[in-house]
Structure 1
Amino acid sequence: MEEKKKLDLLSIASVPLVMTLGNSMLIPVLPMMEKELKITSFESSLIITVYSIIAIILIPITGYLSDRFGRKKVMIPSLIITAIGGLISGLTAMLLENSYYWILIGRFIQGIGASGAFPVVLPLIGDMFKDDRKVSSSLGLVETSNTAGKVLSPVIGAILAMIVWYVPLLAIPVFSFISLILVFFLLKAPKQQENPVAFREFLNTTKKLLAEKGRWLYAIFVIGGILMYVLFGVLFYLSTLLEDTYNITGVMKGLILAVPLLALSSASFLTGKKIGKNKQVMKWLSFSGCLLLSCSVFVISFSEHIDLLIGSLIFSGIGIGITLPCLDTFITGGIEKEQRGTISSIYSSMRFIGVALGPPLFAVIIKTSHQILFLSTAGVCVVASVLALLSIRPANLQKAKSSK
């Protein structure tokens, strides 16, 4: 790959890395926040959820804006807003005694910024490369950067919280500023169409597109949401379990949380490198990844023993890591450039819905029993497996691609 494109990819990859750090980094710190802020487990989960809820609402809008005005023009203000939200959360936590609701306000603003950052990355990759093999390998790199952020975030969050519990909140604007500099100076985004589509025509075209390709698109949307629901729900559960049951805190807890995420990151990178343009292989990898996730979560339901839990979560991470680059490539490879931002933004919204639902639902269901929590989660994963098997049809994807 030419040097110029490598610099572009470096700047693009920084965005999901920073967005992930800004969210996942707080997971190992939530039990500490509960004690410092005197809040419940459910209230602490809202620190993750409020960030995702506003992003869910705004992502389709920023997707349309990126189609109309350009990807970079949306990403740069979004990174600035993310930094401002992080600064509000961090400073109020540092300066105010009762700062919980101010932290939520800052996280809300941070979510506004997130809506126009990572979701715009996927269509941007599709714009930059015409060759399917380069698209899939670049998307694998982006997902690897995203999951690398998840791998690093528990460790970084735990280390920063050892200074003072609110330092991870203050780190968010710093990371956002670094990504902003990289995107501003290194990214040379492709030009958008000179005569952008009017909003009414855009709506009609999107409705027509969903009517024609809805079967496989809706399946991918739901699968993406399920994968994120399981990932963030399990991370929240594991973080609480390690601290409350096994008295494992600090860096050690961060390292344990990073193990399944490392498996996820490695699987994403290798899958993105290998899948190329073979849609049939992507379909079966998506099905196999979801099936592996289903089986791993089902095994967890039988015991809370830490060794079984970590071992099963490693296989869960591999299953999610195999599936994500395939879903990303289906979206970017099967949709025309003019609508790519909007469709990928709906997909991103579904992933954020999973992120938003995971921690609070896990916090509520675990009060019933460990087994019910993971059996119900395994059932949801089976739904993802069935959708991957029955609704993703490579022949339709090939037709969509060749009709461009």
Structure 2
Amino acid sequence: MQKPQGRVLFALSLVPLIMVLGNSMIIPVLPTIAHEYNLSAFQSGLLITLFSIPAGIIIPLAGFLSDRIGRKKIILPALLMYGAGGLVAGGAALFSAQPYVWIVVGRVIQGIGAAGTAPIAMALIGDLYPPEHRGHALGVIESTNALGKVLSPILGSLLALIAWYTLFFAFPLFIIPATWMIMRWVEEKETVAPPSFTKYKHDTIFVFHKQGRWLVICFLLGAVQMFFLFGMLFYLAETLDNYTSLSGIVRGFLLALPLLSLTLMSVWTGKHIEHQVERIKMFLITGTLITGGLCTILPFVRGPATVIALLFAGGIGGGLVLPCLNTLITSAVGKAERGIVTSLYNSIRFFGIAAGPAVFGALLDRPLPLFWGTSAACLLLVLLTIRFIHKPGQLKSKHGHFRLFLRSLSNIPKDPG
């Protein structure tokens, strides 16, 4: 298997960037929407939650279909649906007599479209890139995802200078170049004879029978990172709104700062594990401990500057964990089941995103159980990682890294490539 051209990775990296705008770009304007329609913090948080829950539900179906009919046949229509949801939400703000209800409807449509974007792009990268280059490619994808999180609060704040609802109309514009590039540049091998549904189900069950324990731990590690990240972005937006009188653009820049460390660390981690895959376990433990440690401190912090500084440190934890999870999960199975496995992983991540703003909004006045509960979950996952995710005993060559590492996890009999 040869490494694809750089433009292929560039085109596919636009997919997670666009998808992450769906949540991160709206966070700076949630307080404005709440004031506009007299919403509670919980109700405004639902604009994130009701985007993420449909995505989490539909992602496994999108993954299954992508295994059967091909990745591009899912990604391209999903991008169009994502843009259509933005038009519905923006039109509701302008013309509807019940704008909040129809904005929620638009967000649900966007969430359904999002289900077929980044998760399937991750599976497609797993198909196109050989194991020795997969870690770097997935690190680029995760860093692009993180870069979207960095840019989106700033972009959302800039668009809100026109009117807060203009950001919804930006989504259809974003998908046009990505759709064109994927259509023209990304060549996917046609599925000649997909396995029968019975065999597909049997093979998927077999994967989880052999590797289920560590796969579930990886799923939960990703969900906790997303829960913490989006919950804290929502928490920070509310803190800035309540304790400062800063302009929207300044608040957008401040919301972006904690995500900058996530972006930079994701790039570094992706390149590092390409050559030293044996450090994946150490990175998973270290990153999760950083997140859990911050959660023990945050209940006693009130100043926005200190919260931002702690979240900047928290981005290092997420940047260590997420590229490692992407690499492990896409390398765990063969191409035939890769779509459903990576989609289940992304589905769990989306449920973490959905829970974050809703739980943080409901528990803004009870920070101790909120943060210490998250810290306890991190500690439990660290213990499970130590117990069930093992380091490889011996590494012989760069090209054998993933083969040996995955065998050390679950006695895989052959290269999952």
TM-score calculated relative to the size of structure 1: 0.95
1:330 counterpart residue number: 328
1:108 counterpart residue number: 108
- Given candidates 375, 378, 383, the residue that maps to 2:380 is 383
The amino acid across from 2:379 in the alignment is V
CA RMSD between the two structures: 1.6
1:194 match: secondary structure: coil
1:275 match: secondary structure: helix
- Given candidates 372, 394, 400, the residue that maps to 2:412 is 400
For residues 151 and 228 of structure 1, the distance between their equivalents in structure 2, rounded to whole angstroms, comes to: 15
Aligned-pair CA distance for 1:388: 2.5
1:166 counterpart residue number: 165
1:232-271 mapped onto 2 (5 Å cutoff): 232-271=230-269
1:209 counterpart residue number: 207
Matching of residue 276 in structure 1 with residue 274 in structure 2: yes
For residues 208 and 311 of structure 1, the distance between their equivalents in structure 2, rounded to whole angstroms, comes to: 45
- Given candidates 208, 219, 222, the residue that maps to 1:221 is 219
For residues 109 and 394 of structure 1, the distance between their equivalents in structure 2, rounded to whole angstroms, comes to: 42
For residues 338 and 227 of structure 1, the distance between their equivalents in structure 2, rounded to whole angstroms, comes to: 28
1:287-366 mapped onto 2 (5 Å cutoff): 287-366=285-364
The amino acid across from 1:363 in the alignment is G
- For residues 282-324 of structure 1, the C-alpha deviation after alignment (integer angstroms, 9 at most, x for no partner) is 1111111111111122222222122321121111111001110
Q: 89-98 or 268-277: which moved more?
A: 89-98
Q: 388-397 or 209-218: which moved more?
A: 388-397
Judging changes above 3 Å, is the alpha-carbon distance between structure 1 residues 127 and 102 closer, same or farther for their aligned structure 2 residues? same
For residues 39 and 306 of structure 2, the distance between their equivalents in structure 1, rounded to whole angstroms, comes to: 31
For residues 66 and 278 of structure 1, the distance between their equivalents in structure 2, rounded to whole angstroms, comes to: 31
- For residues 317-345 of structure 1, the C-alpha deviation after alignment (integer angstroms, 9 at most, x for no partner) is 11001110000000111211110111000
1:177 counterpart residue number: 176
- For residues 133-178 of structure 1, the C-alpha deviation after alignment (integer angstroms, 9 at most, x for no partner) is x100010000011000000011100111111010111111211223
Aligned-pair CA distance for 1:241: 0.7
Aligned-pair CA distance for 1:22: 1.8
- For residues 84-143 of structure 1, the C-alpha deviation after alignment (integer angstroms, 9 at most, x for no partner) is 1111111111222431111111111111111111110111111111132x1000100000
Q: 172-181 or 347-356: which moved more?
A: 172-181
Contact kept? 2:51, 2:107, Cα under 8 Å: yes
Judging changes above 3 Å, is the alpha-carbon distance between structure 1 residues 262 and 401 closer, same or farther for their aligned structure 2 residues? farther
Contact kept? 1:297, 1:378, Cα under 8 Å: yes
The amino acid across from 1:377 in the alignment is T
1:41-120 mapped onto 2 (5 Å cutoff): 41-120=41-120
For residues 147 and 179 of structure 2, the distance between their equivalents in structure 1, rounded to whole angstroms, comes to: 19
Aligned-pair CA distance for 1:364: 1.0
The amino acid across from 2:355 in the alignment is L
The amino acid across from 2:96 in the alignment is L
For residues 216 and 376 of structure 2, the distance between their equivalents in structure 1, rounded to whole angstroms, comes to: 19
1:137 counterpart residue number: 136
Aligned-pair CA distance for 1:393: 2.3
1:188 match: secondary structure: coil
The amino acid across from 1:356 in the alignment is A
For residues 3 and 69 of structure 1, the distance between their equivalents in structure 2, rounded to whole angstroms, comes to: 23
The amino acid across from 2:317 in the alignment is G
For residues 76 and 374 of structure 2, the distance between their equivalents in structure 1, rounded to whole angstroms, comes to: 37
Structure 1: tracts of 5 or more residues without a match = none
Q: 382-391 or 247-256: which moved more?
A: 382-391
Judging changes above 3 Å, is the alpha-carbon distance between structure 1 residues 244 and 272 closer, same or farther for their aligned structure 2 residues? same
Aligned-pair CA distance for 1:59: 0.6
Contact kept? 1:90, 1:103, Cα under 8 Å: yes
Q: 148-157 or 167-176: which moved more?
A: 167-176
2:186 counterpart residue number: 187
For residues 401 and 360 of structure 1, the distance between their equivalents in structure 2, rounded to whole angstroms, comes to: 43
- For residues 366-395 of structure 1, the C-alpha deviation after alignment (integer angstroms, 9 at most, x for no partner) is 23x233322222222223322322222244
Aligned-pair CA distance for 1:264: 0.3
1:12 counterpart residue number: 12
Contact kept? 2:236, 2:304, Cα under 8 Å: no
For residues 401 and 281 of structure 1, the distance between their equivalents in structure 2, rounded to whole angstroms, comes to: 22
Q: 312-321 or 170-179: which moved more?
A: 170-179
In the comparison of the two structures, how many residue pairs are matched?
A: 400
Judging changes above 3 Å, is the alpha-carbon distance between structure 1 residues 360 and 160 closer, same or farther for their aligned structure 2 residues? same
Q: 291-300 or 139-148: which moved more?
A: 291-300
| Superposition misfits of 4+ residues, deviation over 4 angstroms | none
For residues 98 and 191 of structure 2, the distance between their equivalents in structure 1, rounded to whole angstroms, comes to: 49
TM-score calculated relative to the size of structure 2: 0.92
The amino acid across from 1:179 in the alignment is A
Q: Identity over aligned residues, as a percent?
A: 37
- For residues 263-297 of structure 1, the C-alpha deviation after alignment (integer angstroms, 9 at most, x for no partner) is 00000001001111544311111111111111122
2:402 counterpart residue number: none
